Amino acid sequence: MQQNQNAYVRIVDGVTTFIARYVKYLAHVILILLVFEVISRRFFHAPTDWNFWVTKEVFAVYFLLIAPYGMLRKTNIRIDIFYANWSQRTKDIIDLIGMTLVWCTVNIIVIIWGSAYAINAYKVNELTASVAYQMPYWPFKGLIIVAYILLFFQAISEIIKILQRLLAKGEKA
């Protein structure tokens, strides 16, 4: 059983790292879009109608697809004034409760309800609100679901790692 758990953890952590390796370049795309908008607005007095929307959507995709990697690298926000002074076992118990009750619950809710919105956006061919640059909105809504599925898998991976630490003999510092 532990071999299956370890295989799951290795696969999910590997997929998360692989995705992050390439998604990080979207930050460069965002920077290029913003610089393009500033130059066109300031120097050519020709602001674009599409740039704000595209930049916002690219940032949303970036943020959502990089979130599982943040979970893997433990970059989530904690109240260190309390957390730093706790033993590793107490930290693991608090993290287990948080992962199980908050992360998994929220992910399941977003996946279920968000899927309905994504499917509906596809069925009606929902377009973006920008009048000048209308694009289909369903790919972005679908990416939200994909990102939350990846986040859910990463949360399960983290839960497995926490349970393995808690079930190991002795407390680690």
Q: What is the pLDDT of residue 81?
A: 81
Using alpha carbons, select from 22, 12, 4, 5 the residue that is nearest to residue 151: 12
Domain ranges of the chain: 2-167
* Phi, psi for 124 (deg, rounded to 5): -95, 0
pLDDT tens digits for range 65-106: 999 999 999 887 777 788 888 899 999 999 999 999 998 999
Q: Mean of the per-residue pLDDT values for the chain?
A: 90
d(CA 83, CA 118) in angstroms, rounded, equals 38
Look up residue 33 and give its two tokens.
Answer: 């879009």
The pTM score is 0.85
Q: Cα 89 to chain center, whole Å?
A: 27
